[in-house]
Amino acid sequence: MAELKNDRLLKALLREPVDVTPVWMMRQAGRYLPEYRALRKEAGDFMSLCQNPEFACEVTLQPLERFPLDAAILFSDILTIPDAMGLGLYFETGEGPRFKQPVRTPADIERLSAPDPEKDLGYVMDAVRVIRRELNGRVPLIGFSGSPWTLATYMVEGGSSKDFRLVKAMMYDQPQALHQLLTVLAESVTAYLNAQIQAGAQAVQIFDTWGGVLSPDCYQAFSLNYMQKIVSGLIREHEGRRVPVILFTKNGGQWLEWMAETGTDALGLDWTTNISDARNRIGGKVALQGNMDPSVLYASPQRIRQEVGKILQQFGSGDGHVFNLGHGIHQFVEPEKAAVFVHAVHELSQDYH
């Protein structure tokens, strides 16, 4: 593999010194870029884009052609695992993901088994290999997966949900069934992320998008417990380097201490958590990633720079900060505003290192 020319991200995730604060954006390869929309049209639909390694590579690299980002993130979807389990993933226009066969009963759960990452999700591993080759050491590649709890919400609800009625009913009424589902998902995610690492991912992130809808007790039992299992089972050294792990629970700022105990290297923060408070609470244990409100990118360039400066100041001097948005970039953001953001992070962070 080509030698890594820019390893700021990997160093910052391990709380090692860097020259400037590294920056990447969740969903940086996506709908806000006209070149992405053009390629998606050519591919026909979203899953055809994900399942074609050449297309997935092109989409992954698109934002790097525009902005001096410090990482590429694999272009894929968090629902690839349930899809490989045979639940029939499809996308309704304007509705988001749907499953033809949701998982609603203990018998449905009994039928599930962990997919073989190279066989059943080979297109993802092929994409990782193609992207690594094409990156040629420019920046590191981040692999990712949804958390077991987050995947379970989609599988039980049959798609996106506002109230999580079905999965929470299962959680309170049939906890054993839900634990069985989460166990097979934790095995699946561990195998899937390890296969990404072996294929060339140099850091991995677990997206716990819906952990924040749980009560503290339920978060520990049904989300964190399974992320902990995954972290314990991941390959942490590959190609002669440490492979950092990032955990991100949206709306999970109240549980950072628990999350920091999992053995993860870094925690993602959304914009509802003050990064200075987070650093005071757990900065000695893990690196922090975040955490600008993505909606700031609708504001003027001057205001974007101001917000970047404020978050850098809140984090303060020293190592262990990866700048990111507090959630994915919105589809209606102008790419020029994203450029202002990325340049501002590099320029304004010099004083802190």
Q: How far is CA 128 from CA 2, 72, 144, 243, 328, in A?
A: 14, 11, 11, 15, 21
77 is in an annotated binding site: yes
Active site residue 154: yes
Active site residue 98: no
Strand partners, 321: 288
Q: How many angstroms separate the CA atoms of 241 and 202, rounded?
A: 8
44 is in an annotated binding site: no
Q: Which is catalytic among the residues 31, 66, 242, 281?
A: 31
Q: Which is catalytic among the residues 70, 77, 120, 126?
A: 77
209 is in an annotated binding site: yes
27 is in an annotated binding site: yes
Q: How many angstroms separate the CA atoms of 284 and 257, rounded?
A: 11
Q: Which is catalytic among the residues 27, 138, 241, 303?
A: 27
31 is in an annotated binding site: yes
The count of other CB atoms within 10 Å of the CB of residue 156 is 25
Residue carrying the six token digits 């969740």? 26
Strand partners, 203: 142
Q: Which is catalytic among the residues 40, 129, 242, 303?
A: 40
Report which of 168, 162, 188, 239 is spatially closest to residue 78, judged by C-alpha positions.
Answer: 188
Which tokens sit at 73?
């993130």
Where does residue 162 fall: left (phi above 0), alpha (psi -120 to 50 degrees), or beta otherwise? Answer: alpha
154 is in an annotated binding site: yes
**67: Cα separation from own chain's centroid:** 19
Please give the backbone phi and psi of residue 71, each rounded to the nearest 5 degrees, phi first.
Answer: -160, 155
Active site residue 27: yes
Report which of 119, 142, 122, 123 is spatially closest to residue 132, judged by C-alpha positions.
Answer: 142
Identify the DSSP state of 329.
Answer: P
Q: Which is catalytic among the residues 32, 36, 154, 219?
A: 154
Which tokens sit at 90?
């499809």
Binding residues: 27-31, 77, 154, 209, 327
So which residues are the catalytic ones? 27, 31, 40, 77, 154
Binding residues for substrate: 27-31, 77, 154, 209, 327
